[in-house]
Amino acid sequence: MTIFDKVFNRDRSEGPLVLSTHEAFAAVAITAIAADGNVTDEEANRTALSLATLAAFRNQHLDEMGRVLDRVADLVQQRGASEVLKAVKATLSQGQAESAYFLAADLTLADGSFGVGERQFLQNLKDTLGIADAMALKIVEVVVIKNRS
pLDDT digits (tens, 9 = 90+) for 102-124: 999 999 987 777 778 888 999 99
Q: pTM here?
A: 0.85
Give the integer Cα–Cα distance in Å for 101 and 95: 10
Give the integer Cα–Cα distance in Å for 49 and 43: 10
Radius of gyration of the chain (CA): 15
pLDDT at 22: 93
Tell me which fold the domain 19-146 belongs to.
TerB-like (1.10.3680)
* DSSP tag of 57: G
Which has more confidence, 118 or 140?
140
